[in-house]
Amino acid sequence: MSEEALSIIDKRTQATYEIPICDGTIRAMDLRKIKTGPDDFGLMTYDPAFMNTSSCRSGITFIDGDKGILRYRGYPIEQLAGKCTFLEVAYLILFGELPTEPQLTEWVDQITHHTMLHETSKRFLEGFRWNAHPMGMLVSTVAALSTVYPEAKQVLDPDSRKLQIMRLIGKMPTIAAYTYRHTHGFPYIYPDNDLSYTENFMNMLWRMMEPKYQANPVIAKALDILFILHADHEQNCSANAMRAVASSQADPFLSIAAAAAALSGPLHGGANEEVLKMLDVIGSKSNIPAYIEKVKAGQFKLMGFGHRIYKNYDPRANVIKWAADSVFEVTGKNPKLEIALELERIALEDEYFIKRKLYPNVDFYSGIMYQAMGFSPEIFTVLFAIPRTAGWLAQWQEMITDPEQKIARPRQIYTGPMVRDFVPIEQRGVPAAV
Ligand SMILES: CC(C)(COP(=O)(O)OP(=O)(O)OC[C@H]1O[C@@H](n2cnc3c(N)ncnc32)[C@H](O)[C@@H]1OP(=O)(O)O)[C@@H](O)C(=O)NCCC(=O)NCCS
């Protein structure tokens, strides 16, 4: 028996069990042997929303939510944001080590040569209404790429996986930019291979009649930092969707579409858009106390606050705050920043937020930065999806190569009627109101 173990007495049978403890966890399957008799299925755990369940072993991202620590492959997020480019970090997340110079050159070259969309894929986008939400367009277009690359179904082939990874990281900014151009009725702009990842994204978004797009280096750098901050965040809702869908061996384009769909919700990546709407509703600093009272009364949540894992300041919010200064020097201060800072100050002194350990998360300040850079709120979550694609793909690779993983299939506690005889329609009477 392992030295670290849990002794359990089943008071139903008085039987005792030794359950090994490994890495601070017990294996849920070890509970199955706890039975009242041969016909008993065995004990299960009940954990709605995965509040206390590890679904995998992962070496990608480390978070200590109480201390406010975030590391990719062991490197603190602050160091990566200060010293790396996004593509360097994407390489680290995907392959486990920071690239050497030749490896980085080759990686950047490979991504740069996978940025174009098939012309027919551009036409998928044309079918959307002008006011379609960019996240809906992004999710659908990524899913549609599955039909363009049928060989992506070879998910057990490492070479095929690497090719799809390069395609997805390369094409995501192109799709994102085209959703924006579609909304504005502007012609789509082809990628420019002379530019960096973020400069090229800005080129595809904002180039008009000029023959060559000149990205503002401060904005391009700030966008790159924001991409680094959003690259991965361990087993969040969208990473879990990616792993769950891909566990059926669905191709990565369809799995990424599922992950992006999960990201779109206001409790996940959609929160940055909601923060801006909230700051608009608040309107001025003098309205903050009344707004906070309504939050405390349970009328609505303070968007951009709180986190399942962080019970301390989200370290990404701290990095955004220091990166914001350089952006505001170029763009001028976003007036919403004043409201946000005051909102944070008041909330962090309030017993309601202190007691529940509710701090600003990454979405609280990212939207203000994005808006200052010239993005409109509808595209904020798309800006989150671009870098998170690297994280989703790393989670996918890790899942598919983990011999312990199988198709994801949780159990349930059935609460419906056990067995009933069919009732013909004319004998059913008036049903209770649904
Ligand atoms: C992120 C989030 C979904 C985490 O949810 P969770 O881990 O399930 O936490 P809970 O909803 O159980 O919250 C615990 C308590 O704090 C409160 N709370 C959580 N976030 C809150 C917020 N943003 N504003 C006000 N109260 C909040 C809950 O109402 C609950 O209070 P109670 O104990 O009196 O019932 C949640 O904090 C939230 O909805 N935040 C706003 C959306 C957001 O910014 N999302 C981006 C995340 S990066």
DSSP codes, 366-395: HHHHHHHHT--GGGHHHHHHHHHHHHHHHH
User: What distance in Å separates the CA atoms of residue 178 and residue 176, rounded to the nearest whole number?
Assistant: 5
Low-confidence spans in the chain with pLDDT less than 50: 1
User: What distance in Å separates the CA atoms of residue 397 and residue 94, rounded to the nearest whole number?
Assistant: 8
CA angle at residue 168 from 162 to 170, to 5 degrees?
Answer: 100
Considering 224, 232, 251, 363, which one is annotated as catalytic? 363
The secondary structure element, H or E, covering residue 354 is helix 351-355
Q: β-strands 61-64, 15-20: how paired?
A: unpaired
Ligand 1 and 306: CB distance under 6 A: yes
133 part of the active site: no
Based on the number of CB atoms within 10 Å of its own CB, is 408 exposed (0-12), middle (13-18) or buried (19 or more)? middle
Ligand 1 and 311: CB distance under 6 A: no
Ligand 1 centroid – CA 301 distance (Å):
7
**Residue-level pLDDT at 363:** 87
Helix (H, G, I), strand (E, B) or coil at 69: strand
**Residue-level pLDDT at 431:** 67
Sign, Cα dihedral of 353, 355, 359, 363: negative
**Residue-level pLDDT at 325:** 86
User: What distance in Å separates the CA atoms of residue 323 and residue 317, rounded to the nearest whole number?
Assistant: 10
**Residue-level pLDDT at 138:** 98
Query: What residues contact 412, with CB distance under 8 A and at least 6 apart?
Result: none
Ligand 1 and 356: CB distance under 6 A: yes
User: What distance in Å separates the CA atoms of residue 219 and residue 213, rounded to the nearest whole number?
Assistant: 14
**Pocket mutation for ligand 1, best pick of 229, 267, 291, 311 (most atoms within 8 Å of C-beta):** 267
**Residue-level pLDDT at 2:** 53
Best CA proximity match to 19, nearest among 52, 43, 51, 36: 43
Q: In Å, what is the CA distance from 313 to each residue of 132, 170, 246, 361? A: 35, 32, 32, 7
Distance in Å from the first CA to the final CA of the chain: 53
**Residue-level pLDDT at 102:** 98
**Residue-level pLDDT at 434:** 61
Residue nearest atom 10 in ligand 1 by C-alpha distance:
308
Ligand 1 and 301: CB distance under 6 A: yes
Q: What's phi and psi for 5, nearest 5 deg?
A: -150, 160
